[in-house]
Structure 1
Amino acid sequence: MGAFWGHADMGIFFMALGLWWLYNIFRDYFMSGCDLNIFRSRISYGLPCKPRIPIEIIMKLLFIGGVILFEFSTSGLHFISKDGNFRNIIYLQHLTMFGIFFIHALVDLMEWIDAPVPRGSAALTGAFAFGWTALSMYYHVKVGNREQVDVLLHTMPNYVIYMLLASFLYEHYHGYKGILAPTVRAFSSLFLGTWFIQEGWVLFVHDRFPGGEKNPEWDLADERNAHFIPVAFGCHLLVDFIIVAILYVVLYFVYIPKSRLACLRLWQKWRPLKTSDEDENECLLLGNDDKEDMFV
């Protein structure tokens, strides 16, 4: 991950995971009729057309497994030099992070196939994986003399990670009832994705692959740049919240048919004046919709 594209890959992964969770959470919520007595969230979701296929778990195993293999090849598994000193420790730190995420995906798969593992193991390992990610990022910049911008980039997202961790545990201990906790989990993952890309954009050059050189356009010790990072953090929160709200509204209209009828009636009320033929056609359309509602 010590390059722009390493951060971008992880960012895209967490963004995709967050959007995937949001889609499935909102879809199931609306298909349950917005009834919290019926709605249940899940740690992972299957293929929409084939729900028994654990597509999310498969993708997590493939992606994280690929990242682990890349870290192996980059480090060469040489963590001690010939004179007995540590080397390539950053790769070893990354391997511990991705290794726990890989274990989480395996445990999630075992729960999916009803293997004899304790119920809630997937939620616990997921919380554990994100918790260690937060601690790892904190101590990554805590040790040594790191510039202010670098420290802020690595420590500020930890507050969101802790929310994600808490949502994992809250969902499990409350029987996966309610929509707020899973939405917080999905939002936090989406935020981590956008923030990882921001982090890589500031720290490394992004006009070449893999972008491992330091970005000369950013002075990481400049106090003005350090003040900008919290502003960027707030902008990410705002933009990601807007994305969640838009997705919620879109899926509401997709999965709640009566909402489309309400919009049509609202348009009928406030639309510009039309010809009598157009009025007659829309009245027929609304009449058909009303008849269909009588049989729902």
Structure 2
Amino acid sequence: MGFTGHMIIGSFMFSISVWWMFNIFRDYVLSKRKNSSSDFTSRISYLCSTCRKVPIEAIWKVVAFTFVLLCEVGSSRLVFIDPKDGGFRAGAITNLQHMTMYGMFLVHACVDLMAWKLPVPDGASTVTLALALVWSGVSIHSGHNKNEFLILIHILPTYVMFVVAALLIIEFYNNYSCFLASAFRVFGTMLLGTWFCQMAFVSFDRHELIGNAPNPHWDQSDPRNIQMLVALFGGHIILDLIVSMLFYTAMYLRYGRGGYEYKTKELGEEHEKLMGIKSPEFQEQKLIC
């Protein structure tokens, strides 16, 4: 993927985590304000309250993953055989590996989009996202083994992918009413976003076009640099936890202290279509400032 690819993926994950964080924390704070946290319902895809007729998040996912998938197609040129010896081209196979990862996320995005109007099975969006995360973790864990530096920098986020996938299943099992699972799903997604951006700066030379060359300031054979990666990852965990707590505090100050009317009407019905939720307990929601 190089510098540009890691920055694109990292920025996407960070932006989607902030969007989820805003909606999930807001809904939970509002449910607590009514002294009924059982009214809380998280979602995998959210509609914008000012543009309810367009599933902006689902479209953003489709556009983002289509773009990175096409970038990998263009980079490999779909030529996977080396004419010199008839074997597979190492670089092109790496592109193909990335294509399978992005392709699975694109499937999830398409399911999200179809759920807006079509009767997709309940929880299909959740399961496809969890499956995409699991496969990405397995793929990254087994495919980046050029040296110890690259192995470690790629293995660290795979654990987070597996945890986020498990949290998605927990949310689905609990009918999306478990706030802690939702909150840590969002935190894990933010952690992946900030770490992939960090990976871009540590692994690749950002001054080169696209950025495929190694960063000359990080000697990938130096054991001190390898050890430093673990400390950096721990720093990301702490920083993203602090950001999450500050975000929750901001949501409480904005929505949890009165001055915000919370009624049930139109918006929730369209959220329900996106989620595939058909629970009789589901409450339609309309947010009115």
Aligned to 1:43: 44
Q: Which has the larger radius of gyration?
A: 1
Structure 1: unaligned runs, 5 residues or longer:
261-296
Superposed CA offset, 1:9-41 (max 9, x none): 111000001111100101111222353211100
Contact 2:5 2:68 in 1 (8 A): no
Superposition deviation, residue 211 in structure 1? 1.4
What is the aligned partner in structure 2 of residue 273 from structure 1? none
**Cα distance in structure 1, aligned partners of 2:186 and 2:95:** 28
**Which residue pairs with 1:161 in the alignment?**
161
Contact kept in structure 2, 1:252 and 1:259, CA below 8 Å: no
Taking the aligned partners of 1:150 and 1:234, their CA distance within structure 2 comes to 17
* Offset, 1:111: 2.2
Give the whole-Å Cα distance in 2 for the aligned partners of 1:199 and 1:102: 23
- Report the alpha carbon displacement of residue 68 of structure 1 after superposing the two structures with TM: 1.2
Pairwise CA distance, 1:219: 1.4
Q: Distance in 2 between matches of 1:44 and 1:86?
A: 39
- Match of 2:225, SS state, is helix
Instruction: Show the counterpart of 1:137.
Output: 140
Shift of 1:259: 9.8
Q: Which residue of 2 aligns with 1:111?
A: 115
Is this contact kept in 2: 1:253–1:259, CA < 8 A?
no
Residue matched to 2:125: 122
Measured against aligned partners, the alpha-carbon deviations of 1:86-138 in whole angstroms (never above 9, x if no partner) come to 1110110010000000001111222232x232211111100000001101110
Task: Show CA shifts across 1:165-201 (max 9, x none).
Answer: 0111011111001211111111111000110011111
Correspondence 1:71 to 2:72: yes
* TM-score, with length taken from structure 1: 0.82
1:60 alignment partner in structure 2: 61
Match of 2:87 in 1: 85
Instruction: Tell me which moved more, 116-125 or 97-106.
Output: 116-125
Correspondence for 2:28: 29
Q: Deviations over 1:240-278 (max 9, x none)?
A: 001101111111111123599xxxxxxxxxxxxxxxxxx
Would you identify which runs of 4 or more consecutive aligned residues in structure 1 move more than 3 Å? none
Q: Distance in 2 between matches of 1:147 and 1:32?
A: 49
More divergent stretch after superposition (51-60 vs 118-127):
51-60
SS of 1:191 mapped into structure 2: helix
Q: State the partner residue of 2:7.
A: 8
- Once the two structures are overlaid, the 10-residue window that deviates more, 45-54 or 190-199, is 45-54
- Assess if the C-alpha contact under 8 Å between 1:163 and 1:184 holds in 2: no
Counterpart residue identity of residue 123, structure 1: T
Q: 1:27 touches 1:255 (CA, 8 Å); kept in 2?
A: yes
> Aligned AA for 2:204?
F
Within-5 A mapping of 1:250-265: 250-258=250-258
Give the secondary structure class of the aligned counterpart of 2:144: helix
Backbone CA RMSD of aligned residues:
1.6
User: Structure 1 vs Structure 2: percent identity of aligned residues?
Assistant: 38
Q: Tell me the amino acid that sits aligned with residue 44 of structure 2.
A: I
* Larger deviation, residues 12-21 vs 216-225: 216-225
TM, length-normalised to structure 2 = 0.84
1:20 corresponds to 2:13:
no
Looking at structure 2, the residues matched to 218 and 23 of structure 1 have their Cα atoms a distance apart, in angstroms, of 36
